[in-house]
Amino acid sequence: MKRTTILFLSILLGIISLTGCPGSRSVRERADKRNLTYGMSVQAGDVLDPDTISILEDNFNLLVPENTMKWVNIRPTKGFWNWSDMDNMVAFAQKRKMRMKGHTFVWHQQNPPYVYSLKTREEAIALLTDQITSVMTRYKGKIYEYDVCNEVLNEDGTMRDTIWYKTIGPDYLDIAFRTARAADPDARLILNDYSNEYAGTPKADGFYALAKDLKDRGVPIDGVGLQMHLMAQDPVSEEALLENVRRFGDLGLFVSFTEIDVRVANPLTAEKEAEQIDAYSKLMEIALGEKNAGSFIMWGFSDKRSWIPRAFPGFGFAHLYDQNDKPKPVYFRLKDIISGKKAK
């Protein structure tokens, strides 16, 4: 072989190894390239299981603990902090340069008995601020975003009557967000809820009014979470979703799709699967297309270990991987969209 040919081939190989061959890029690399936060909720055991680890590494640039950071798990008794699972997950993410999201401090579920038995405003504020400060100080600089408050509204858009509302009053939100900002000023702080995706519905409008009020009063909120637990049979209303995303943008708030899954009524048919693919695709197009969006986080990756059949009997098939942890057609459609191919 001529020296010039060898030189040419060496340069070509060098370029390929530096830039990566486009066809062989992992989904994660493609998401990174698009500046898309592409994430997944995980259980504590997922980051210890070699099969799951390779799925996470190849595909996602953000992890969120599905249950591990919830109060009942991370601090089951007032005096005992169960840090090990969370430490492990954070170290896993750091090693792979993945972002880590925290979920969640203020919620009406998955709290230990000593939270539900709080009585006075003073003791509730002391415990809540201690919880937020302790977790956020430990993971300062390692967890980039938190769902500070989760599901604080009723279906009609009014405040939910939770232990925090009862003991502290409506300003528990101010206290939670201000405490979080003080604990880690660089963390992005989110108000998260479900059934809040479409402008013009009572809950979404109540959610918008609440976020606007917090923002107007200078409470440190950076963004909102639209959970997006959807049903394949209900087509995504792009217009109402875009209107919602954009009105938060006008307030200077980021919008994250925080807990996406699209459940299908049994039995699965080709038609229902097509509806599901359509819903996932529309969300991805909006996440990639809107300037104050860009975060597409799913609630579980596999139909094999899903919260859906337990919570919604008669439904399933909600995730990207099937009962054998094999990627489904919806996985490949999302991969195509992330790679820049338009949804069909």
Going 27 to 32 to 38 to 44, the CA torsion angle's sign is positive
CB of 266 vs ligand G3I, minimal distance in Å: 19
- Sites for ligand G3I among residues 179-198 (CB under 6 A): none
Residue 237 binds to ligand G3I (criterion: CB under 6 A): no
What is the maximal distance between C-alpha atoms in the chain?
84
Cis, peptide link before residue 185, omega less than 30° from 0: no
Residue 82 binds to ligand G3I (criterion: CB under 6 A): no
Residue 281 binds to ligand G3I (criterion: CB under 6 A): no
Per-residue CA distances from 335 to 36, 56, 340 (Å): 12, 14, 9
Residue 26 binds to ligand G3I (criterion: CB under 6 A): no
Residue 227 binds to ligand G3I (criterion: CB under 6 A): yes
Q: What is the number of the residue whose Cβ is closest to ligand G3I? A: 307
Tell me which of 66, 145, 197, 259 is the catalytic residue. 259
* Cβ atoms of 284 and 334 closer than 8 Å: yes
Per-residue CA distances from 282 to 5, 314, 334, 335 (Å): 47, 25, 10, 13
Residue 110 binds to ligand G3I (criterion: CB under 6 A): yes
Binding residue count for ligand G3I, defined by CB under 6 A = 9
The smaller minimum CB distance to ligand G3I, of residues 179 and 195, is found at 195
* Cβ atoms of 203 and 156 closer than 8 Å: yes
Residue 10 binds to ligand G3I (criterion: CB under 6 A): no
Backbone angles phi, psi at 194, to 5 degrees: -120, 165
Query: How big is the CA angle at 227 (ends 226 and 232), to the nearest 5 degrees?
Result: 110
The smaller minimum CB distance to ligand G3I, of residues 150 and 244, is found at 150
Residue 307 binds to ligand G3I (criterion: CB under 6 A): yes
Residue 261 binds to ligand G3I (criterion: CB under 6 A): no
Residue 66 binds to ligand G3I (criterion: CB under 6 A): yes
155 is catalytic: no
The smaller minimum CB distance to ligand G3I, of residues 262 and 338, is found at 262
* Cβ atoms of 266 and 316 closer than 8 Å: yes
Residue 142, Cβ neighbours under 10 Å: how many? 17
259 is catalytic: yes
Tell me which of 145, 151, 197, 275 is the catalytic residue. 151
Tokens of 148: 């500070």
CB of 41 vs ligand G3I, minimal distance in Å: 7
3-state secondary structure of 97: coil
* Residues assigned a catalytic role: 151, 259
Q: Which residues bind ligand G3I (CB under 6 A)?
A: 66-67, 109-110, 150, 227, 259, 307, 311
